[in-house]
Amino acid sequence: MSSNIFSFHTFVQAVSGATGSVSAQLLTMPLTTSFTRAQLEDGRARKQGPLDTIIRIFQEEGLQGVYKGAVSTCLCIAVSNFVYFYSFHALKSTRKSGDQKPSTDLLYACIAGSLNVLITNPMWVVNSRLRMAGVNDNSVRYTGQLDGLLRIYREEGLQALWNGTKASLILVSNPAIKFTVYEFLKRRFAKGIALTANRAFVLGACATAIATLITYPIQMVQAKARNSPEQLALNKFALQIYRKNGLIGFFRGLDSKLLQAMLASGFMFLAYEKIAHFVFRILTLYHNK
């Protein structure tokens, strides 16, 4: 079993997933900035669409504003997806051949997601604040990930680095649903045939749309918790959102998030499948020499 978990095959899957995720994030970063501002920005027009928000940020802050926190975001995504893909495929490699069921995929996805959250949450706390630096009155400026990690630890304590962890653990359901639906759709519509780029993109986008619509209110609470220096219970953050904006407040930025998530996941699954296929094909040709 250990040889399967610590195998080159699992490592390639993890690197492919991380590379594909970073590539997709760079392509969709303006939309990421748009929905982040919609979730957290105070005192702004909240009825702007994704394109209007991006144009407004570009006019006020330039291209740097649209890509604020891009380095930190890509670093977080690379580490998170490496951990997630490695854990998920390592767990898959332990099951018996032919034992491919949605329930099993869901269990493995939840375990992989939980490991990912516990390991990388401090990085995401810093990233959330870097992306909002100078935007809200209570935002704090950091020079980068390491500076943010050290300053939060010194000024707010170790516990602050895991702000939003409870919401993140609940949100393990998001990638769990996404990967379970993706694996199901792949078995349903691509069984026995090559998974083309178009098919990988569509299947990934559809799986992500379902997961995002189900879990978005929790993402709103998580965003508030990560961006706040206050260490409140999740229900307190949820109550703040409800008091300010009502039920609609839990869906602020959903249009930008849904568009960004579908495009990013579509590109991510496309790149992931093609990179992994390319590497394994090269290795097969090498071993057949």
User: What type of residue sits at position 203?
Assistant: L
Crossing angle for the helix pair 197-227 and 8-40, to the nearest 10 degrees: 50
C-alpha count within 13 angstroms, C-beta hemisphere, residue 13:
18
The per-residue b/e assignment along 96-133, b for 16 or more CB within 10 angstroms, e otherwise, is: eeeeeeeeebbebbbbbbebbbeebbbbbbbbbbbbbe
Tokens of 156: 């707010």
Closest-CA residue to 183 (of 279, 81, 103): 103
Tokens of 44: 């702004």
**What is the per-residue pLDDT for 286?**
62
Inform me whether the pLDDT recorded for 45 exceeds 50. no
136 vs 33: CA distance, rounded Å? 14
DSSP for 151-184 reads: HHHHHH-GGGGGTTHHHHHHTTHHHHHHHHHHHH
Closest-CA residue to 78 (of 132, 123, 28, 32): 123
Q: How confident is the model at residue 102 (pLDDT cuts 50, 70, 90)?
A: confident
Inform me whether the pLDDT recorded for 234 exceeds 70. yes
**Span 121-140, pLDDT tens digits:** 999 988 888 877 766 555 66
The whole-number average pLDDT for the span 278-283 is 81
* Average pLDDT of the residues of the chain: 83
Inform me whether the pLDDT recorded for 230 exceeds 90. no
Q: What domains lie within the chain, and their CATH numbers?
A: 2-133+142-287 (1.50.40.10)
Inform me whether the pLDDT recorded for 210 exceeds 90. yes
**Span 12-35, pLDDT tens digits:** 889 998 999 998 888 888 888 887
